[in-house]
Amino acid sequence: MRAVVIRMESALLAIILTSIVALSFLMNGNATGITSTFIRSEYPSVDIPLNNKVFAVPRGYNAPQQVHITQGDYDGKAVIISWVTADKPGDSKVQYGTSEKKYEFSAKGVMTNYTFYHYKSGYIHHCLVDGLEYDTKYYYKIGNGDSSREFWFTTPPKIDPNSHYIFGIIGDLGQTFNSLSTLEHYMKSAGQAVLFVGDLSYADRYEYNDVGLRWDTWGRFVEQSTAYQSWMWSAGNHEIDYMPYMGEVTPFKNYLQRYATPYLASGSSNPLWYAIRRASAHIIVLSSYSPFVKYTPQWMWLEAELKRVDREKTPWLIVLMHVPIYNSNEAHYMEGESMRAVFESWFVQYKVDVVFAGHVHAYERSYRFSNIQYNVTSGYQYPVPDKSAPVYITVGDGGNQEGLAGRFRDPQPNYSAFREASYGHSTLELINRTHALYHWNRNDDGNKTAVDAFVLHNQYWGANHGKRKLEKHNVRKIMMDEIATH
Ligand SMILES: [Fe+2]
């Protein structure tokens, strides 16, 4: 009789556990992940030759080149306009206004230059243009006389939970024909600003004076987009440029001289990590290659910045970093583990919507999983479905000269929803405070093809709104209670 009771209890326990696991998967929208078998014919992974027109120096003596803009403040009412003059310093003035050819206002910037081995940079100008109106098209002019150049940009809408906005997400771009394909496809999209997840020029694949030279060509290559809309920068390993064999040991030297970020506006002490708010999004940029463990400046800044996030004003919480912390490609496998151990619990606690990373030259998207229960004495050692966790997206597939990362780990882990070794870029359309539309766009031969697409439900305003007082990881707690009871 006792044996029958025990068998019945065991059967009941099995049913409960099976139901809980099934419920957990359903609640997280989980299903078997997809490893795409698509193979495209790609352009050779070689950099575009220096004499190609995409690198052309603009006409005119000392004409501004490598023009790029980025958000210049915390909330989107300022831009930093940067450019290079090759022959002489010139001035760092920007003339601007809301009508074409009528420049009512002007702002004065700063100029700098530097050496890298025997390479001497041009004169690099950074000019903050602030006090702008939201949602307004501005025209601007830089340079002097016949060599002056004119561009325009549109400021984002005001900070509002329902502001509509479209971000492009690009990573590991480089300067190959694949890079050009990605850039052209992105420019055909409706993207209004770019979240760049690191590894810009791949100039560090060169030696000696060619390093600086390839930073210059990259600046001219991307100008077709970067002069007209803000690109938010984050640093990858190819920005480190640690080259002791040629006496260059200051990390990020080329990158920091050329690409400004509005780090002071978010209370950061370092341009490599910072935050901005734009339309309905709060965007946090982290540095995978700067200290981030407890008590370091980046850790302390992030702890404070996450407390400043107000989902009532900016419902969408987006994190950028270079090294992915959930990725199942053989390339760079587990390199993000150290940052995962430090920051993942915050991402879950603050219900980050999505984490974008690059580094791995293939595309991958995760389900909502976390591994925060694990510790060195006990706990679950495998990632588990977690409704509070972000979606992790690796979009390190811009097209650089190192080629694709074609080998994924087999079997595909549970957290991996979709993965494909192709070049491409993503777009994230924030529709309102509850819904966003996400696309990953593969570079098919000559065409942009939306391959991975889904509706992203906001982690704060979405289905769980009003239920946030429920205990986190409720499903797991029920399961543990059941095990303890039996
Ligand atoms: Fe990288």
CA dist., res. 235 & res. 271, Å (int): 10
Q: What is the CATH number of the domain that holds 267?
A: 3.60.21.10
Beta carbons within 8 Å of 301's beta carbon, 6+ residues apart: 266, 267, 268, 269, 273
Q: What is the mean pLDDT of residues 438-464?
A: 85
Q: What is the mean pLDDT of residues 403-415?
A: 93
Q: How many CB atoms lie within 10 A of CB 382?
A: 11
Distance 357 CA to ligand 1 centre (A): 10
- Find the catalytic residue in 332, 359, 361, 425: 332
Q: How many CB atoms lie within 10 A of CB 224?
A: 14
Asked about 457 being catalytic, the answer comes back as: no
pLDDT at residue 14, as a whole number: 41
Distance 383 CA to ligand 1 centre (A): 24
As for how many domains the chain has, the answer is 1
At 16-49, the pLDDT tens digits run 433 333 333 333 444 578 988 776 666 778 999 9
- Whether residue 305 is contained in a domain is answered as yes
With CA atoms as reference, report the closest residue to 36 among 343, 447, 408, 473.
408
CA dist., res. 147 & res. 142, Å (int): 9
With CA atoms as reference, report the closest residue to 144 among 224, 255, 82, 64.
64
Distance 324 CA to ligand 1 centre (A): 10
pLDDT at residue 445, as a whole number: 62
**CA 77 vs CA 87, 232, 428: distances in Å:** 32, 15, 21
- Whether residue 473 is contained in a domain is answered as no
Distance 396 CA to ligand 1 centre (A): 8
Q: Assess whether pLDDT exceeds 50 at residue 467.
A: yes
Note down the domain range covering 447. Answer: 35-60+160-468
Lowest mean pLDDT among 103-117, 204-218, 365-379: 365-379
- Whether residue 13 is contained in a domain is answered as no
Residue type, 210: D
Q: What is the mean pLDDT of residues 306-314?
A: 98
At 257-283, the pLDDT tens digits run 999 999 999 999 999 999 999 999 999
pLDDT at residue 9, as a whole number: 46
At 78-89, the pLDDT tens digits run 999 999 999 999
- Whether residue 479 is contained in a domain is answered as no
pTM for the complete prediction? Answer: 0.89
> Band of the pLDDT at 380, cuts 50, 70, 90?
confident
- Whether residue 26 is contained in a domain is answered as no
- Whether residue 71 is contained in a domain is answered as no
- Whether residue 42 is contained in a domain is answered as yes
- Whether residue 55 is contained in a domain is answered as yes
